[in-house]
Amino acid sequence: MASLIFGILALLLVMVFLGVHIAVALGTASAIGVYLLLGSSDIALSVLSGTAYEALRKDIFIVIPLFVLMGEFISRSGAAQDIYSIGNRGLRKLPGCLAVATVSGNAVFAAITGVSIASAATFSRIAYPEMVALGYSRSYALGVVAGSACLGMLIPPSILMIIWAVLTEISIGALFVAGLLPGLILASLFCAYCIITAIMSPETAPSCPPPSAETVDHARNRSELISGLSVVALILIVIGGIWGGFLTPTEAAGFGAIGALVVGIVKGMRRKEISTSIFHAGKITAPIMILLITASMYSRFLAMSGAVDVIQGTLFSFSESPIVIMFMIFVIWLVLGMFIDATSIILLTVPIFAPMSAIIGIEPLAFAIFGILVIEAGLLTPPFGLLIFTVKASVPDKSVTLGEIFRGSVPYWIMILLVAVLVVVFPVLATFLPKSLI
């Protein structure tokens, strides 16, 4: 049995690294594995089709398209530009003010979008041109944009958190709340790095000039303030409703999508922009849903074959020390993050690693936040950091090189990994708010 399990997992990894779409790889490996277990193609197809049907019936999956749609409405309404402008004015006296405003804007934007790629694409177009125009180092400016975009997967709502919660049957609301404190700590570290770098190297991040009386547009400032307050109110309704127990995650996502539509209409969105937002949300959601269906097939194979116990036994044969086990998981996630997107890594590994973390005594919420942080760091690491390529494709300056973005993002993924380690060492960082509020 062990040879069958490792053979199927090896087949799965080979297909993934050869470039086969992860959904196809999961479905194919699961089908072959179940067929070899049962010895009948008819029974195997019946088991897998039943598994897929049960996965589709889970109403919790509606949370994903609704939160993605909420982010699309806000992104296309221009509210992200308003959030950045408000932060820029409020933080003007700080060293590296535009970089700090980018981190702050991403933190707020993260509480709406739940998708790091959306944050990276949006702030590449908004923040990078302003920083370069003021004389900021290109690599520094690109690093700020790419690094702070990672906040989108940690500060709730987060698509990765929803997927993790579905796979492990953790409360989505509790996991959302668990990510808030580590997310704020990470955002604070990013801001501190931006300020310290600007102080130590003024040529990298020059000071912002004070606005002249002629350039102050009070009407524009008032419009941006109203837009920013609307976004904050929307965040309070969505996240506050979940925290307070007034709304389930599904209901909060519904209210969020409707609220974002209202904000978008007030900001000037019309039928074309609304239709585009809905269409683009569908394009983002459909692959995720297909992945979740095939991941349920993969989980069924793992359960039927006893793969989790076999893999656990193999890893524990090297060492039973929780530190060693966590280090092995850490390295596996970090290496996979260099080649595979975050959603795929979670679908491949969490069904195996989550039960192991419980055996060695790691609190489930802390392990989830640790995993999301480590996996998210992979989005910034060479050779295939997804956020790096997103920034490269989105910045208006086509002379920007991947090397510049990778160099600028190094301090950020180091800080992400630092917070990940802190969450494991001090799990109260992830568990305090859920235990206090939920």
In the chain, domain spans = 2-437
pLDDT greater than 80 at residue 170 = yes
pLDDT given at position 408: 87
pLDDT greater than 90 at residue 391 = no
User: pLDDT tens digits for 203-236?
Assistant: 887 876 665 444 555 566 677 777 777 877 888 8
pLDDT given at position 31: 85
Q: Is 350:168 a contact under the CB 8 Å cutoff? A: yes
Q: Is 275:34 a contact under the CB 8 Å cutoff? A: no
CA distances for 418 relative to 220, 377, 395, 414, 424, angstroms: 40, 10, 28, 6, 10
Polymer length of the chain: 438
This prediction's pTM: 0.83
pLDDT greater than 90 at residue 124 = no
pLDDT greater than 90 at residue 189 = yes
Query: Given its phi and psi angles, is residue 400 left (phi above 0), alpha (psi -120 to 50 degrees) or beta?
Result: beta
Tokens in use for 120?
Answer: 């990276």
Percentages helix, strand, coil for the chain (3-state, rounded to 5) are 80, 0, 20
Q: Which has the minimum average pLDDT: 59-63, 291-295, 401-405? A: 59-63
pLDDT given at position 214: 46
Mean pLDDT of 409-430: 91
